[in-house]
A and B are shown apart, each in its own frame.
Chain A
Amino acid sequence: MGLISLLIFLPLAGAVLIALGPREKPGLLRGIALTTSVATFLLSLGLFTRFVAGEGGFQLVEMRPWVPGLGITYRVGIDGISLFLVLLSTLLSVVAMAASWSDIKVRVKEFMICLLFLETGMIGVFVALDLFLFYVFWEVMLIPMYLLIGIWGNPGRRIYAAVKFFLFTMFGSLLMLVAILVMYFYHGKTTGIYTFDLMSWYNLKLPLSMQVWLFLAFGLAFAIKVPMFPFHTWLPDAHTEAPTVGSVLLAAVLLKMGTYGFLRFNLPLFPEATVMFVPLLAGLSLVGIIYGALVAMVQVDVKRLVAFSSVSHMGFVVLGIFALNVEGMTGAMLQMLNHGFSTGALFLIVGMIYERRHTRMIADFGGLSTVMPVFATFFLIVALSSIGLPGLNGFVGEFLVLLGAFQAEPLWAVVAGLGLILAAVYMLWMFQRVMFGEVDKEENRGLKDLNLREAALLLVMVFFIIQFGVYPKPYIDRIEPSLKLVLKRVEERGAPLRPAAATAAEKPAAATAPQHFTTQHHN
């Protein structure tokens, strides 16, 4: 069994162990779960060390026949795009385990099993190189997440949120399933080989009319997951009602699957259609950026606010992807990771005060800085990272996205940039209302500052928040070659259909002396 397979199945083994363990000893079960996820994380570091930087293709590929009759194989591997997403998943799983330590008190056994299943699903989605396998992981993940929201969520609307989450996601993915099948048979009929192998599919040249439909079907599934405007309404509900850990993983990892899907499938498989749909996708993501930010501004519930801010931030990611140049796409990838840390940390933070006060309403807080100074510091750093302060992680990604967008179509960057202003407005306003002012509520007066465990959790997040901001090079170096490969596929076949990009490159050239511009078209 290769390293990647080990990563996939280790959490599963842990889950089985917990299932057999005694219900009366939640401490033991927590211990097993934490040990498993820590072990998985440590193993996943092996991916990083064994990954050859500078190579764009898939590495550490494992292949095993699964359903040979249908050309289904168990095929996993990583490239620069998935490497860090896997690491993000394993790291955040550890964080999630630790974060749930005192939060979850009932049905610990089931909870830990769900978390470990979720971890398997998350890793699986990012490493699967067989469309069938991918689809299986993609759907499998719904179950534990659904249970997490539905069982351990906030009383009240948790069931509504859980079912909404499930149905929304399922809606998109079912159409994707049809698209996968259509593609599978097209591949079979044209090449004679019936296979779900992604690598083989990459070589397939689909007629444009077909690409359009397939792109839409795949795209819908991913757009719902991202979530892009106007398919986002499940997110605020899911985030708000989910337990802290659920929100953290949902924001940090699950949302990334949508954007990952775009990069992994939509772009390379349907290059011509991609180019065709750039205006639509970029347009929606721009609307999402502004819309999410505006709506976030007027929220009265911290978690909902963060959820809408996710809509805005993920808009940046999609925009970067559909800028269709190295800068934008790299920015999008970084932004995916950044959003994982920033928003993940934000949900941890909200969870910590929720655990103390059992409310998420902004109006119920105020002046927490006075009673919880350490917490205030972490919250501030995380909020600033979410705003995209230079020197912290958010900025690098957002700047690259804007740069990419500007090169593709200056207007995009102009509109998207407004999102940065609004981000400062909603985040700081919320921060002010929660943390500043006098402690005017009696309940807030006695709040305890962070304990060691909580501080350690946030420290991990803040470490990466700063590290990504100051020295993102190791990440970019590994991500970029893979993105270039994707881009090459799009460029080679989609290039003739690219009016937008062409004008973007020519416009400044026409305005001024030409010698500089001819060379700088994204390479």
Chain B
Amino acid sequence: MIDKIWLVVLFPLLGVVINGLAGIKLPRKVIGAIGSLAILGSFITACLIFVEVAGHGSAERVSEVVLFTWIGCGSLQVNAGFLVDPLSLVMMLTVSGVSFIIHVYSTGYMAEDEGFRRYFTYLNLFVFFMLILVSANSFLLMFVGWEGVGLCSYLLIGFWYQRQAPADAGKKAFVVNRVGDYGFLLAMLLIFVTFNTLDFNKVFAAAPQVLEKGGLAVTLMTLLLFVGACGKSAQIPLYVWLPDAMEGPTPVSALIHAATMVTAGVYMVARCATLYSMAPISMEVVAIIGCLTALFAASIGLLQNDIKRVLAYSTISQLGYMFLACGVGVFTAGIFHLVTHAFFKALLFLGAGSVMHGMSGELDMRKMGGLKTKMPWTYGTFLIGTLALAGIFPFAGFFSKDEILWAALQKSPALWLGGAVGAFMTAFYMFRAVFMTFHGESRIESHVHVHESPGSMILPLCVLAVLSVAGGWIGLPLIAGGNQLKEFLQPLFSVAGHAAPAEQAAHEVGLEITMMLVSLGIALSVIGLAWFMYIKKPLLLEKLSARFSSLYRLVYNKYFVDEAYDALIIQPIKNSSLWLWRLFDEKVIDGAVHGTAALVLGASGALR
């Protein structure tokens, strides 16, 4: 079965081809079904392969399937091939699974949209590229998926291209991602000249011999790769595109900008764990950037009024946690959080989508309130997602986040503190969102007719809700043998040959439990605070904002980062381009040409 791995990517591609070419004549239901079934096919294939691989001993779980030589030139030999190992399998399962759910959801959500066929074509294309990204056997092929998902993200953010904002947002996403990709590209070049190959297996196998631990080469490589990861996974300073990306359809936000694509950076760092382990400086950078992003984005999330933006900043923040995990060396925990986050964040986005659907497209939480009764299913599942994100026991987020914080504490208290404050804020803004949306008095404008969403949307919510609850149990840290995910993944990450801090953790069960209880307590008290501020005493908020007005404005305006980028980077480039064109090109170069001509012609006039 493993050698049939190409089926995983083939199914979505078929979906693209059928829907893209023939779909123009097909009814919507068929298009939706084709799109969803294609992904289901991938998911089932991935499951079968997973079962097979899981059956092998941990040593034989890694295999490579090569289809054909893609680029073979000089010393560069790149195959179109797949790397089947636990990491890629976990990613494939997550991606195809969540994708399938979201496809089903989309059949309901997008049912009325003109671009239904286009939507499913793009979505299938996205899954195709995403699966290539996670299953590629070389950096270059991964880059294909990497940029491919960027493309789909561009297309889907700008899905409603008639409006200015989505089109702008799509372009912004692509360009910012390109900046990151530039880092990735340079990293690949450096890797190639160092290892003379771009195959993951060969590179990682040769790394310990070729590279000097902590040396310039490996540090540079990993830092450049991390630039790529920052772009894709929206970390400081390249996070600016993700909030804007919310202009796309909500299922897209759920799939691409929460569950799968944005986590590609984390996946890539985890994939290169061998290299990162050899570059302590890079690890520190990753951890610090991750921690800062987690804090920074969470703080912005505190004051956003657009429900999707809250979730977007939350995503950025959670991605920060994943990088923090990688940075402190617990790659497993990073991946674990990636998986659980995929469940509950997809759930939250889809819930928000359901709210939007019921509210005729309204996103401003100030115009909601009291939806609890009108949309009970949505409310229930959204609450589960929130609890999971806030890290309440026994929901999925609790286990994964806690593992990260624990590992961070092992590394440095400062990192832990950052993470914990972030967690504090997370719980606050999420419950703020819940209270503003579902509780309290209704602030809904009169013309809006609120209704619960159809079954095709509710069902996926339920499935995700279940996963959000139970997803964490695969990584139970305390029960012996309970952390199956870690067991499954760890062999990959110990290639680097150093003990993961998580292993030491087992010796300090007591302390860990204490820490868990602390964080749980914090979370619960924060929920109370949110309840107090938004339900009990809403006026308090105004007073506070008036008190700290400048700080409030700063955070409310997202620290003016977009404005700063515009003033410091975009406008100067634009102006210098204009200057180059109007002055240099037309006046200097062409001026010299015309000047010569005029000189000769002038001489001609003189000679007659």
Contacts and interface: CB of A to CB of B under 8 A. Distances in A.
Q: So, do A and B actually touch in the complex, CB under 8 Å?
A: yes
Interface of A: 164, 230, 232-233, 291, 294-295, 297-299, 325-327, 330-331, 367, 369-370, 380, 384, 389-391, 395-396, 399-400, 402-403, 406-407, 410, 413-414, 417-418, 420-421, 424-425, 428-429, 432, 435-438, 470-473, 476-477, 480, 508, 511-513, 515-517, 519-520, 522-523
B172 to A, nearest CB: 10
A477 B593 CA distance: 43
- With most chain A CB atoms within 10 A of its CB, the pick from B69, B143, B577 is B577
12 contacts: A327-B74, A399-B71, A403-B189, A406-B192, A420-B178, A424-B175, A428-B171, A437-B164, A473-B71, A511-B215, A517-B193, A522-B75
B34 interface: no
Given A389-B148, A516-B195, A330 B73 contact: yes
Contact of A327 (B76, B163, B181): B76
A402 B189 contact: yes
Residue among B178, B186, B589 with max Cβ neighbours from chain A (10 Å) = B178
Given A429-B171, A432-B167, A480 B73 contact: yes
Contacts of B164: 437
B182 A508 contact: no
Contacts of A380: 155
Contacts of A437: 161-164, 167
A513 B193 contact: no
Contacts of B589: 230, 232-233
A369 B114 CA distance: 13
Contacts of A331: 73
Contact of B158 (A429, A436, A477): A436
B3 interface: no
Given A418-B182, A420-B182, A523-B74, A508 B193 contact: yes
Nearest to B573: A294
Q: Which of A391, A400, A470 has the most CB of B within 10 A?
A: A391
Interface stretch (B95-103, B279-287, B315-323, B578-586): B578-586
Interface stretch (B205-213, B395-403, B444-452): B205-213
A413 B186 contact: yes
A502 B147 CA distance: 33
Nearest to A367: B162
Contacts of A522: 74-75
Contacts of A297: 573-574, 577
B75 A421 contact: no
Given A402-B189, A417-B186, A325 B74 contact: yes
Contacts of B171: 428-429, 432
B196 A513 contact: no
A369 B76 CA distance: 40
A189 to B, nearest CB: 35
B333 interface: no
Nearest to A417: B182
Given A233-B585, A413-B189, A428-B171, A294 B577 contact: yes
Contacts of B178: 420-421, 424-425
Contact of B210 (A410, A516, A519): A516
A298 B148 contact: no
B140 interface: yes
A406 to B, nearest CB: 4
Q: Is the interface of B mostly helix, strand, loop or mixed?
A: helix
Contacts of B560: none
Given A297-B577, A473-B69, 11 more contacts: A291-B580, A295-B581, A326-B75, A330-B74, A389-B148, A389-B151, A413-B189, A418-B182, A429-B171, A437-B164, A520-B75
Nearest to B588: A230
Interface in B58-79: 68-76
Interface in B5-58: none
A367 B75 CA distance: 46
B237 to A, nearest CB: 15
B162 A438 contact: yes
A52 to B, nearest CB: 18
Given A297-B577, A406-B193, A523-B74, A512 B174 contact: no
Interface of B: 68-76, 140, 143-144, 146-148, 151, 154-155, 158, 161-164, 167-168, 170-171, 174-175, 178-179, 181-182, 185-186, 189-190, 192-196, 206, 209-212, 215-218, 573-574, 576-578, 580-581, 585, 589-590, 593
A508 B217 CA distance: 7
A508 B179 CA distance: 25
A471 B75 CA distance: 18
A124 to B, nearest CB: 29
B151 A508 contact: no
B186 A476 contact: no
- Pairs A-B, 7 closest by C-beta atoms: A326-B74, A390-B144, A436-B161, A406-B189, A436-B167, A294-B577, A520-B196
Contacts of B161: 369, 432, 435-437
A399 B182 contact: no
A370 B70 CA distance: 36
Given A390-B147, A436-B158, A513 B75 contact: no
B194 A396 contact: no
User: Which among A230, A233, A395, A472 has the greatest number of chain B C-beta atoms within 10 A?
Assistant: A233
Nearest to B576: A294
Contacts of B179: 421
B176 to A, nearest CB: 10
Given A436-B161, A511-B216, A513-B212, A400 B76 contact: yes
A130 B312 CA distance: 65
Contact of B70 (A471, A477, A515): A471
B5 to A, nearest CB: 18
Nearest to B177: A424
Given A428-B175, A471-B70, A516 B196 contact: yes
Given A298-B577, A511-B215, A512-B211, A396 B71 contact: yes
Contacts of A291: 580
A352 to B, nearest CB: 20
A399 B75 contact: no
Nearest to A469: B144
A512 B210 contact: yes
B72 A473 contact: yes
Contacts of A424: 174-175, 178
A522 B164 CA distance: 49
B185 A420 contact: yes
Given A326-B74, A400-B76, A508-B194, A414 B186 contact: yes
Contact of A294 (B190, B580, B590): B580
A298 B190 contact: no
Contacts of B155: 380
Contacts of A396: 71
A384 B151 CA distance: 9
A369 B170 CA distance: 15
B181 to A, nearest CB: 8
A421 B182 contact: yes
Contact of A471 (B68, B218, B578): B68
Nearest to B590: A233
Nearest to B121: A377
Contact of A295 (B168, B215, B580): B580
A480 B74 contact: yes
A467 B216 CA distance: 39
A325 B218 CA distance: 24
A472 B158 CA distance: 31
A10 to B, nearest CB: 33
A324 to B, nearest CB: 12
Contacts of B140: 390, 399
Contact of A406 (B68, B162, B190, B593): B190
A520 B210 CA distance: 13
Contacts of B185: 399, 402, 417, 420
A233 B593 contact: yes
A403 B577 contact: no
Contacts of A299: 581
A284 to B, nearest CB: 13
